[in-house]
Amino acid sequence: MRKNIVAGNWKMNTTLPEGLALAKEVNDAVMACRPNCDVIICVPFTHLASIDHVIDSTKLGLGAENCADHKSGAYTGEVSAAMVASTGAKYVILGHSERRQYYGEVSAILRDKVALALENGLTPIFCIGEVLEEREAGKQNEVVKSQLVEGLFNLSKDEFAKIIIAYEPVWAIGTGKTATADQAEEIHAFIRSAIAEKYGKEIAENTSILYGGSCKPSNAAELFAKPNVDGGLIGGASLKCEDFMGIVKAF
């Protein structure tokens, strides 16, 4: 059966000392509460190796927020999937709407990133989601389906089985405006049906689909109670241990 997962996305926040302190705090809290879900923190590249040394990675997963679309070489400032894997990280967020929107990450680039992540043993947390105008025009299903088809449906069954999906409606990210649990359930069910159509029911049933967008301790339990919502990808609330753990404990 698929896993329930709560993953933090720290985005461009915390200096290294601040990040180390937060990671230690989250690690201790996870050890103390024995959560009913997998817990992951995705952190800036600069923090990965140091954080890997201070957490128990069998209890708290570690991931990057991005990786390069090339293997190695003359790409100044880029960080490859192999480099990420060499820090001890096991996950990588790919296709976040902020990367798509601000850094021009189109599906062709994301396909290369996904392939390199998988080649290096990293589990991609692949983000999809519509913007407000698309939601208002009733096009959300169409949008997420094309993001799946273009970004992931080139993968073999075995490869796709390693992917975690995060549905993040762009209008809910950092806005305080959460999708209702019913809205989340409806589109998560649609995403699962699109996966089933392509890869079969078994793979679809085993794929974890996380919700992201203004998820907090006060709304997590209602969202996670929905049968097709398998956890959350948490931005702002992952920067405070108490809030993050409040979401973890919603399971």
Active-site residue, from 65, 96, 98, 105: 96
| Catalytic site includes residue 96 | yes
Total count of residues recorded for the chain: 251
With binding defined as CB under 6 A, does residue 231 bind ligand 13P? no
Residue type, 20: L
Subset of residues 73 to 112 that bind ligand 13P, contact rule: CB under 6 A: 96
Q: Which H/E stretch holds residue 74?
A: none
- Do residues 225 and 207 make contact, with C-beta atoms less than 8 angstroms apart? no
Among 153, 154, 81, smallest CA distance to 123 is for: 81
What token pair was written down for 140? 């959300």
Q: For ligand 13P, which residue of 69, 130, 168, 243 counts as binding (CB under 6 A)?
A: 168
Nearer to ligand 13P, 41 or 199 (CB): 41
Distance CA 52, CA 57 (A): 7
- Contact call for residue 236 and ligand 13P (CB under 6 A): yes
Tokens of 166: 């995060």
Instruction: Tell me which of 6, 163, 215, 220 binds ligand 13P, using CB under 6 A.
Output: 215
Output the residue with the shortest Cβ distance to ligand 13P.
235
CB atoms within 10 A of CB 15: 11
The residue among 151, 141, 225, 150 whose CA lies nearest residue 186 is 141
63 is an interface residue for ligand 13P by CB under 6 A: no
- Among 100-108, 143-151, 197-205, 208-216, the segment contacting ligand 13P (CB under 6 A): 208-216
Residues sharing a CB contact under 8 Å with residue 48, sequence separation 6 or more, in sequence order: 62, 64, 84, 87, 88, 89
The residue within the footprint of ligand 13P, chosen from 184, 213, 245, 248 (CB under 6 A), is 213
Nearest to 22 by CA among 217, 240, 232: 240
Residue 166 CA, distance from chain mean position? 5
Minimum distance between the CB of residue 55 and ligand 13P, rounded to whole angstroms?
20
| Residue of 134, 168, 185, 188 with catalytic role | 168
Between residues 40 and 148, which has the closer beta carbon with respect to ligand 13P?
40
The yes or no reply on residue 177 touching ligand 13P (CB under 6 A) is no
Task: Let me know if 188 is a catalytic residue.
Answer: no
Work out whether 66 is an interface residue with ligand 13P (CB under 6 A).
no
- In this chain, which stretch among 16-24, 47-55, 105-113, 234-242 interacts with ligand 13P, using CB under 6 A? 234-242
What angle, rounded to 10 degrees, do the helices at 217-224 and 181-199 form? 50
Question: Residues interacting with ligand 13P, by CB under 6 A?
Answer: 9, 96, 168, 173-174, 212-215, 233-237
Catalytically annotated residues: 96, 168
